[in-house]
């Protein structure tokens, strides 16, 4: 396969991935807003702080879907002179926008909890509250499974971040239903306690999204330099490998490496070896990858001990 063929396949795959991510986000957006409206209406009419807080959380799910669609539109743009590596980092930046929405929801819930503590109001729970919460639970569970599978298949940080967000909604809905039972049994304080629990779950989800985005934006190594070096050395004609570096995220990995070949080898032959190395490394990485191979002569000057930029900890998965 020629370099032009590889580039065409890569471009086609990127466009297909973007379309699939958009379809997933649009489907999830409609379901999240449906769930959010139901929870908020019931929460306000029943004076339930926990149901209202859960509704706000679901509303943030929908808002994060909108942010995700904007981010995908920016990330899918092709490389240009000012962005030679493309615009994929916008997808990671968008996941930080999701975390911001979570923090805004956290602030609203904590403020409501404080007001409830001061007033001591009690919620009035009826059968409709249970119907809405059970229905929302089923929808949220289905959305989480669907979005997580799509996120892993498409290797999208936006979908994975949003699936984590929705997963917390499932746990929160379960907690709220338990709280509704306790309220019916004569323990109205359960509503306030659950609101605080919801706030904690939202804070944890926001922290995980910020942590993952920080790892991507700080170019943490995403693959083992030793494994990549082993693959490169398996190519006939490669006499040494060093300076292996990896970074990535958002469905793409970049690999830079130096290889040494016979100093008397023709340029065409050396180029063929480097192409074979790049192809095998791409297969080892197992996802869309941009592999840059620098060729050096196998002389005493260049055949020095291998120097790989390797973190102290195990590389994370992109």
Instruction: Name the residue ranges covered by the structural domains of the chain.
Output: 3-217, 225-297
Token output for 133: 């919460």
**Which has the higher per-residue pLDDT, 288 or 10?**
288
pLDDT over 80 (residue 74): no
Provide the pLDDT for residue 318: 45
Residues 200-209 have a mean pLDDT of: 81
Distance CA(250)–CA(88), nearest Å, equals 6
45 phi and psi angles, rounded to 5 deg: -70, -30
248 phi and psi angles, rounded to 5 deg: 170, -155
| CATH code assigned to 3-217 | 1.20.1510.10
161 phi and psi angles, rounded to 5 deg: -65, -40
Mean of per-residue pLDDT scores for the chain: 78
Residues 157-171 have a mean pLDDT of: 76
Distance CA(54)–CA(20), nearest Å, equals 29
Provide the pLDDT for residue 316: 52
Provide the pLDDT for residue 7: 43
CB 237 within 8 A of CB 79: no
CATH topology of domain 225-297: Alpha-Beta Plaits (3.30.70)
Q: In what order do the strands lie in the sheet with 240-249?
A: 240-249, 252-261, 289-297
pTM to 2 decimals? 0.61
pLDDT over 60 (residue 305): no
Provide the pLDDT for residue 15: 65
pLDDT over 80 (residue 269): yes
């Amino acid at each position: 396969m020629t370099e032009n063929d590889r580039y065409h396949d890569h471009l086609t795959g990127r466009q297909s991935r973007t379309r699939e991510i958009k379809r997933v986000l649009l489907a999830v957006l409609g379901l999240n807003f449906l769930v959010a409206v139901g929870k908020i209406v019931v929460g306000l009419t029943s004076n339930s702080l926990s149901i209202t807080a859960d509704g706000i959380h679901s509303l943030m799910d929908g808002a994060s879907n909108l942010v995700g669609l904007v981010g995908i539109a920016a990330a899918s743009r092709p490389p240009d002179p000012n962005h030679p590596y493309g615009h994929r980092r916008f997808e990671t930046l968008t996941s930080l926008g999701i975390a911001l929405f979570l923090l805004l929801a956290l602030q609203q819930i904590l403020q409501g909890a404080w007001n409830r503590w001061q007033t001591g109001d009690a919620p009035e729970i009826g059968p409709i509250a249970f119907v809405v919460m059970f229905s929302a639970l089923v929808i949220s569970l289905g959305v989480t499974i669907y979005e997580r599978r799509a996120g892993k298949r498409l290797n999208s940080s936006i979908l994975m971040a949003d699936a984590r967000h929705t997963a917390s909604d499932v746990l929160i809905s379960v907690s709220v239903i338990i709280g509704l039972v306790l309220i019916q049994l004569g323990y109205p304080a359960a509503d306030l306690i659950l609101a605080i629990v919801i706030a904690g779950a939202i804070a944890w989800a926001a922290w995980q999204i910020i942590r993952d985005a920080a790892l991507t934006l700080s170019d943490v190594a995403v693959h083992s330099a030793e494994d990549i070096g082993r693959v490169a050395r398996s190519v006939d004609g490669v006499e040494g490998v060093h300076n292996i570096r990896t970074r990535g995220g958002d469905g793409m990995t970049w690999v830079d490496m130096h290889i040494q070949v016979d100093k008397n080898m023709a340029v065409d032959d050396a180029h063929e070896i480097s192409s074979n190395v790049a192809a095998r490394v791409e297969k080892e990485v197992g996802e869309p990858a941009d592999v840059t191979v620098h060729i050096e002569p196998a002389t005493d000057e260049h055949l020095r001990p291998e120097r790989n930029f390797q973190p102290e900890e195990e590389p994370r998965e992109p």
